[in-house]
Amino acid sequence: MHYQLIEDQLSLTRLCEQLSKAKVLAIDTEFVRTRTLYAKLGLLQVCDGEQLALIDPLAIEDLTPFWQLLTNANITKVLHACSEDLEVFLTAGNCKPVNLIDSQIMMSFLGHGLSLGYAAMVKHFTGIEVDKSESRTDWTKRPLTDKQLAYASADVDHLFFLYPKLLAQLTETGFLGYAQLETQAMIDKKFTPLNEGEMYLNIKMCWRLNPKQLNALKYLATWRFQQAQKRDLPIGFVAKDHTLMALAQSNPLTVNAMLSLEGAEALDIRHKGKAMLAVLAKADKAEVSDYPDKIDRLDDYPGYKQIFKKVKTFLIAASERNALTIENVASKKQVNQFLTWQFDLNGARTGTAKVDLLSSWRNDLFGRDLLELAKQGYK
Which residues form the catalytic set?
28, 30, 85, 151, 155
Rg of the Cα trace of the chain? 24
Q: What span, in angstroms and rounded, lies between the C-alpha atoms of 186 and 97?
A: 11
**57 with 41: CB under 8 angstroms?**
yes
Q: What span, in angstroms and rounded, lies between the C-alpha atoms of 153 and 225?
A: 36
Across the chain, the runs of DSSP E, i.e. the strands, are 3-6, 24-32, 40-47, 52-55, 76-79, 100-102
Please give the order of strands across the beta sheet that includes 40-47: 3-6, 52-55, 40-47, 24-32, 76-79, 100-102
**134 with 140: CB under 8 angstroms?**
no
**341 with 296: CB under 8 angstroms?**
no
40 phi and psi, to 5 degrees? -100, 115
Instruction: Find the angle CA(377)-CA(303)-CA(245) to the nearest 5 degrees.
Output: 130
Partner residues linked to 30 by β-bridges? 43
Q: What span, in angstroms and rounded, lies between the C-alpha atoms of 298 and 311?
A: 14
Q: What number of CA atoms fall less than 13 Å from residue 323's CA on the CB side?
A: 7
**84 with 93: CB under 8 angstroms?**
no
Number of H helices, E strands in the chain: 17, 6
Pairing, β 40-47 against β 24-32: antiparallel
Q: Is 150 helix (H, G, I), strand (E, B) or coil?
A: helix
**158 with 120: CB under 8 angstroms?**
no
100 phi and psi, to 5 degrees? -115, 145
Q: Is 128 helix (H, G, I), strand (E, B) or coil?
A: coil
* DSSP assigned state of 73: T
